[in-house]
Amino acid sequence: MNVTAPLLVLLLISFFSTAQSFPGESFTGNEDDLALQMEKAIKQVVQQRYADQSMKRFNQAKSLGCFNATFTVNEAISPELKQGLFARPVSYPALVRFASASTTDDAKKDLRGLSIRVSDVVGKPVWGKSGYQDFLLNSHPVLFASTPEEFLAFIEAQRDDRVLWHLLTPTNWDSLYTLLVAREHHTSPFDIVYWSTTPYQLGSQQAVKYAVKPCSNFESELPDELTNNYLRAAMRQHLALTDVCFNFMVQRQTNNDDMPIEDAAAKWSEQASPLVSVAQLLIKQQPFISADAIRQCETTEFNPWQSLPEHKPLGRMNYVRKHVYYALSRFRNNQQ
């Protein structure tokens, strides 16, 4: 038998898989299988959770508010950051959704989520519909799981009703710590910083993480008594007084050892690589709890892969999200 032919095939496969990865990415080949296992386990969790009601999102289920916004790319951006959406100082219409990660009662500590869909975007996305660029962010700079395997183990623990035991296992103490410190009583979803936690390309040579920081001239106060819907009340009060402003920022990866692509639980130091503003997100005064706004929020299917190639999601954690978000949003919307 000629042994050089299979060797050549292997070399070619390894060449093309390496050629397709971005520096710092390290796929192991089980990611599609992980995504299918996650889909299965999350469907079981949401079916248990929403047995007698209409299906909501697995994560970030409570919509706190959905708004029309403007995403305006800054004029003064250094040339190496002028990539994709940030190439020209254009104003785009956007839809933004603020949510609570796992609770329905605002009086309980929680993480908040921010989903942004920019419209009228020119260029073919890596996945999804033309014309849109999505950004998904959380109110804590790191995720509680480093890898998709850790995330899957957590979902399966949720499904089997053994989350506490899972988190009390010594190997999961780091996750427990992050989940404890990430949950907070926030004054308002308009007052907090949001982070992408996972990395994205910026052009073809650089990796970045995103952050969104408030720049409004008003800040809410924490009420003495925290009620079920105090966060919506704070947003309503803010918008009755003035517009809401956020800076959309990028943080460049300087090296993969201190700022790894493949560890969603690792914080990229803002001293080593500061956040730089590339755009402004402006939410003008508007009513926001209309039935139409809520319906639009609930049916929109955000996905980090709804993205221009210049902002392609990086790493294994982001890889599995493409399938999981697609499958779960279809599942949820077909059941509504």
Could you give the C-alpha distances from 180 to 167, 176, 190, 228, in angstroms and in order? 11, 6, 22, 21
CB 264 to ligand HEM: min, Å: 6
Residues 74-113 that bind ligand HEM (CB under 6 A): 97, 99, 113
Q: Which of residues 216-255 bind ligand HEM (CB under 6 A)?
A: none
- DSSP conformation letters of 290-334: -HHHHHHHHH----TTBS-GGG-B-HHHHHHHHHHHHHHHHHHHH
Query: Which residue lies nearer to ligand HEM by CB, 113 or 125?
Result: 113
Give whichever of 87 and 327 is closer to ligand HEM, judged by the CB atom: 327
Residue nearest to ligand HEM (CB): 113
Strand partners, 79: none
CB of 180 to ligand HEM, least distance (A): 18
State the helix-helix crossing angle for 315-335 and 148-159, rounded to 10 degrees: 40
Scanning residues 5 to 64, which ones bind ligand HEM (CB under 6 A)? 38, 42, 57-60
DSSP 80: G
302 binds ligand HEM (CB under 6 A): yes
Interface with ligand HEM (CB under 6 A), residue from 37, 198, 201, 206: 198
Q: Which of 143/279 has CB closer to ligand HEM? A: 143
The residue type at 81: L
Given the rule CB under 6 A, which of 72-80, 133-141, 212-220, 224-232 is the region that contacts ligand HEM? 133-141
C-alpha–C-alpha distance, residues 244 and 271, integer Å: 27
Q: Which amino acid is at 156?
A: E
Within 10 angstroms of residue 12's Cβ, the number of other Cβ atoms is 10
Site residues (CB under 6 A) for ligand HEM? 38, 42, 57-60, 97, 99, 113, 115, 136-138, 143, 148, 151, 196-198, 264, 301-302, 317, 320-321, 324-325, 328-329, 332
